[in-house]
Structure 1
């Protein structure tokens, strides 16, 4: 009788465990993206145990958004082992084909993290698919341009650097637009072309890049890029660059 009772109790405990596991699975897989974003924000800003634990639990049940959020929190940790775990989690996500994770991993490996050295070869491996797909990941294309322009882990290649810089500019990255404008303006690696320089500089300025508005102000003051001198435009762009800087400082 005792043996039968023990078996019945064990079965009940197992059923409760299975039920709890089922509930946990359902709960983890039905977490909203808004909740995950909230845990990510809390985890990144405070690294409190609760939001990180919740992300870990949800990620463990295969929630891709939670896995990416957890990776983002971990790579910003003050603990080296957690930063390494975050990079490895991004690597797993990249291997699974997650587009955002591929671009982020490429960016992290390009710059490195405290205690984690850059890996330019692997960085290039993950940046390339992000920069090639549609819609283009503009930052990934810009990072590829940086690799080829500076010869990080590969021979310098100005043609490829300009190719990726142009792709980033066309995809709307203001810093890439500004740098491409300078390439046309100064004719270092591209033929000198004031019209194209002005076109890209204007696009970057319209996107509120402070450097671009300041460059336009100077061009109006000096009568450059095929434009007549214009004090009104000069002061207008000076003020716009100051506005842009305040906007950047608040971000």
Structure 2
């Protein structure tokens, strides 16, 4: 490109019309990841602790009248505990969160938010029911988020830690091509055949936490056969879910402690025999 001739400004100084194009400054940003994806958990114990801590973080948001609205496996990360915060699981991505202090909360949401695979059944049902007349009403609710936590938990139980020699199972049927199929598939798994679902689809690494899966479903939906009948007391739901995780975590930690104790005892016995 030929350089255009210089011109004069009002004070008679020469102006290079392309001079500004040569005035570049190189900038490099080096970022460290704050945490790791949930799917990178290395044990069932770590998986349960991370979800429990993220659930406790969600309760903290709810107490400040904030609803996350997009609970998924991608939005729960593994973090290292610090002196100020012992949490090992964290919620991220609050870009679609809703606050009771937000003016958006007073208006109706016309489109669903969140990932379909983890979306609450009631939200999917509303979507199917209103798909023709476009009369959507997808206002966020803490109970929808807690149901999404339940589906994140089930996704990990089915898809993580699978034996590579066994058939692959996943829950991609919960995000089928057609929304009607998604609803039907999830209803079959959660409402109609849940015990069969956890007995046949859980990976070998998670078979020992079937009781936790049953407990969480009961906490979420009560004893009602219809999955849309939620338990209404928010404090009760949070408390019961966190306690259910804590009891299972405690049992696993107890088993690990017993195994470690037995190994240590055997080691010292063998060492004593050599002396």
Higher RCO structure (Cα 8 Å, ≥6 apart): 2
Structure number having the greater helix percentage:
1
For the criterion TM > 0.5, the same-fold answer is no
Normalising by structure 2, report the TM-score. Answer: 0.27
**Which has the larger share of strand?**
2
- How high is the TM-score relative to the length of structure 1? 0.28
